[in-house]
Structure 1
């Protein structure tokens, strides 16, 4: 078991990455409002908890005119391409969802609500690869 960055370092990277992508994708005046989710436990191929976690951050994107969501999506796709990300899933034209990954194992997504009272509300988020909470493998009892 190899050391990793710590969960705090992974959180900083995911937050900074989302903010960089948002700045390039949305017009001035947008606001990111955090949606709180717990960290996700990582499992091995037998679905056993490894002790590692995947750190994520997700935000509602408030402020931009939802009529221009397709343009914001295109801006994000361009940012992904220019920053070494690879689109993994792209169902934007139907289900308003797309995600991409980079070579470091981070994953980022953009989602637009397609049901409920606020259609087209965007959320953007990123998650880290599996990391040890303190950066070093922990002894298992």
Structure 2
């Protein structure tokens, strides 16, 4: 079994990616935390047990609901220019899901009822201390 980054590093990197994404949106835009999980069990695609994962769920605040499509365009371009690939893109339903090519971190931008916008992210499965 291969080593991974530590769970602490996964949490730091996840927060950094969130801040980088937020910085692409207009000044005055912020985040309202809906869910913050710093450690939860996960089994990776190979079925390896005992790894952990970090995840976040935020509502993007301070936005103009009429500009939500442009926020999707802005983040789609930024993510693609910064090492993320698109896993799913459904402009009609207001959904964009990306994964970092280098480290497997995933981010989702989702439009919700009432002109709300959500930014959701998760780390890959990692060993708590970096080794099995």
TM-score (norm 2): 0.89
The structure-2 alpha-carbon separation of the partners of 1:5 and 1:90, relative to structure 1 and needing over 3 Å to count, comes to same
Q: What is the number of residues matched between the two proteins?
A: 130
Structure 2: stretches of 5+ with no match in the other structure: none
Structure 2 distance, partners of 1:79, 1:22, is 11
For the pair 1:12 / 2:12, whether they are aligned, the reply is yes
- Tell me which of 78, 97, 100 is aligned to 1:99: 97
Structure 1: stretches of 5+ with no match in the other structure: none
CA RMSD of aligned residues (A): 1.8
1:1-141 to 2 correspondences below 5 Å: 1-24=1-24, 26-38=25-37, 39-43=39-43, 50-93=49-92, 95-103=93-101, 104-114=103-113, 119-137=114-132
**Residues 85 and 102 of structure 1 are in contact (CA less than 8 Å); yes or no, is this contact kept in structure 2?**
yes
Deviates more, 1:38-47 or 1:123-132: 38-47
- Measure how far apart 1:44 and its partner are: 5.4
- Measure how far apart 1:45 and its partner are: 6.0
Structure 2 distance, partners of 1:59, 1:19, is 12
Please tell me whether Structure 1 or Structure 2 has the larger radius of gyration of its CA atoms: 1
Structure 2 distance, partners of 1:44, 1:74, is 31
- Measure how far apart 1:46 and its partner are: 8.6
- Measure how far apart 1:84 and its partner are: 1.3
